[in-house]
Amino acid sequence: MNSMGRSALKTSFAWLPIAIIGLFSAAIAQHQGVSEKLLSKISDKYGPTAETRIRHWEGLIHQYHSSDDRKKLTIVNDFFNGARFVSDAILWNKNDYWATPLEFLANDAGDCEDFSIAKYFTLKEMGLDTAKLRITYVKATTLNQAHMVLAYYASPNAEPLILDNLNKLIKPASQRQDLRPVYSFNADNLRLNRTRNEQLKAGKPSQLNLWRDLNSRMRRELL
C-alpha cells in the first residue's frame, strides 16, 4: 500500500479514490471477450507470454462460469495470487495507479489494489453477484500499514471471506484478526466501518466525481 492508500484512511468519502482506468476497461465493463486485435497489441507491447496469460484467464472465466461461488473464489484467488507484488512507484513510476485487470495480467505484477480489483472484476465476469463483493480498505495491523483486500459475503449479514495477496488462503474475517476494516465499496454502495462488525452505508458511487468520470471515459472508449 502506497502513500495514497495510507492517506485515504484519513480522508473523507467525498474524495474516496476509485479510479480503475486504462486501455482495456471497456472490454471488462461490457462483458466482452478480449478481441484478437487487442490481444495482438498486448503481445506487441508486453510479449507473447502476456498474451498467453490473458488467454488462460479468459479460459478460466468460461470454464468456471457455471461453478458455485466458493469454487469461483478459490480459482480466482489462486490465479491472481501467482502474480508478483510490485509497488506503483516501481511499476508505473507513479505514487498511485490502479491498474485494470488486463494491465495487471499483462505485467503479471501489481500492488494490493491491483490484486483486489482484478479479483473483483474477474468474479463479476464469471457471473458472481457483485452485491456479494466489497473491495475493502483495511489496516494490516501486523505490518502497521494500509492494505486492500476483497471481501465476499454469502448473504448481506454473513461473516465475509477474505481474498488477500498477503495471506493467500481464503479465510473468514474472524480468522484475520490482523486486518482492521476501515471502509469498503462495490459498484453499488460505499460503506464505512464503525467497528469490525458494524458498517454504515455512506452513499452511492455516483456521488463520487472520480467514479462518474471513470464511467464516462469507459463509455467514450466504446465509441
Q: In what order do the strands lie in the sheet with 179-185?
A: 171-172, 161-163, 145-152, 133-140, 179-185, 190-193, 199-203
Which pLDDT value is given to residue 179?
96
| Total Cβ atoms within 10 A of residue 173 | 20
Return d(Cα 185, Cα 214) in angstroms, integer: 15
Beta bridge partners of 149: 136
Sign of CA dihedral 140, 146, 151, 156: positive
Q: State which fold the 3-10+22-221 domain adopts.
A: C8orf32 fold (3.10.620)
Which pLDDT value is given to residue 1?
60
219 or 29, greater pLDDT: 219
pLDDT category at 4 given cuts 50, 70, 90 is very low
What is the domain partition of the chain in residue ranges? 3-10+22-221
The two counts, helices (H) then strands (E), for the chain are 9, 9
Which pLDDT value is given to residue 14?
37
Which pLDDT value is given to residue 127?
97
pTM above 0.85, yes or no: no
Which pLDDT value is given to residue 223?
34
Which pLDDT value is given to residue 201?
73
Coil vs helix vs strand at 62: helix
81 or 156, greater pLDDT: 81
> What's the average model confidence in pLDDT over 202-222?
50
- pLDDT tens, position by position, 18-44: 333 334 444 444 445 677 887 888 899
- pLDDT tens, position by position, 127-168: 999 999 998 989 999 999 999 999 999 998 899 999 999 999
pLDDT category at 70 given cuts 50, 70, 90 is very high
